[in-house]
Amino acid sequence: MCVITAIISDAIFYKCYKPMNPLFSIITVTYNAAHTLPATLRSVGEQSCKLYEYLVIDGLSTDDTVKLAEESGITPLTVVSEPDRGLYDAMNKGLGLAKGDYVIFLNAGDSFHSPNVLQLIADSIMENDYPGIVYGQTQIVDSSRHRIGDRHLSAPAILTLDSFKDGMVVCHQAFVALRKLVDNFDTRYRFSSDYEWCIRCLQRSHRNCYIDRILIDYLSEGVTTANHRASLFERFQIMTHYFGFFPTLYRHIGFFIRDLKRKWSH
């Protein structure tokens, strides 16, 4: 009788106290993105894991962006369309509405690599008892969704704050953050606030879990790509703030030499 009682007690304890499946807040920021948004919507709707809310934060588009989102059939769906003060202001609006345990930013044109990506992330979260960050690899695609190649920087198997001394080693879209760890984006940075935001998340995360798979297809277009030089200057400022001026300067000299070698090898 005592053994049976103990088994029943253990079963009740496990049922009551085992970690719950995480809820994801997937946030997509848009502005006149009717030509790139369909691939993003399709990848969200095809996910086998349905434990998510989808937030589309639109900057008052004048094309069919909002209509496409509203007619996507994705549920639950929240669409907000109003003027904003730029990309990161819109992302902050998404964070303000997010109710999930984890947040994922999936820009218009970017997509989950396969229908099981969200389930892979959920499994990793459950297996590792709700880590601060879950992350993986990213590949670059063109507007026809054809693979161009891997990112210039690959996500490391072990991710620490120091990893970001080398730049954006994890693509923002493949960087899944525990909601209670995150603050708003710093809108003083117009092009690289996501880099600074990831650093702050890493400062607060005690455990980061790597998924050795491609999680995201990243469209090789966008605001940061179109403003590459300004983005690099902002990133240098951010690195200097967190890691010091001279270490950042020396590291950039190394980046320059590395880039020259890469060009010569091609």
* Listed residue (167, 145, 146, 143) closest to 155, CA to CA: 167
The predicted structure's pLDDT at residue 225? 54
**165-181 residues labelled b (16+ CB within 10 A) or e (exposed):** bebbbbbbbbbbbbbeb
Residues 6+ apart with CB under 8 A from 246: none
Q: How far apart are CA 141 and CA 28, in angstroms?
A: 18
The predicted structure's pLDDT at residue 264? 75
By the 8 A CB rule, do 174 and 106 touch?
A: no
DSSP β-ladder status, 24-30 and 102-105: parallel
The predicted structure's pLDDT at residue 236? 93
On the CB side of 18, CA atoms within 13 Å amount to 9
The predicted structure's pLDDT at residue 20? 77
pLDDT along the chain (266 residues), means of 10: 35 43 97 97 98 98 98 97 96 98 97 98 96 98 94 94 95 97 96 97 97 96 65 93 91 72 64
How many CB atoms within 10 Å of residue 153? 14
The predicted structure's pLDDT at residue 261? 63
The predicted structure's pLDDT at residue 247? 87
Residues 6+ apart with CB under 8 A from 244: none
The predicted structure's pLDDT at residue 13? 32
The predicted structure's pLDDT at residue 263? 64
Amino acid identity, position 173: Q
Structure tokens at 66: 């909002």
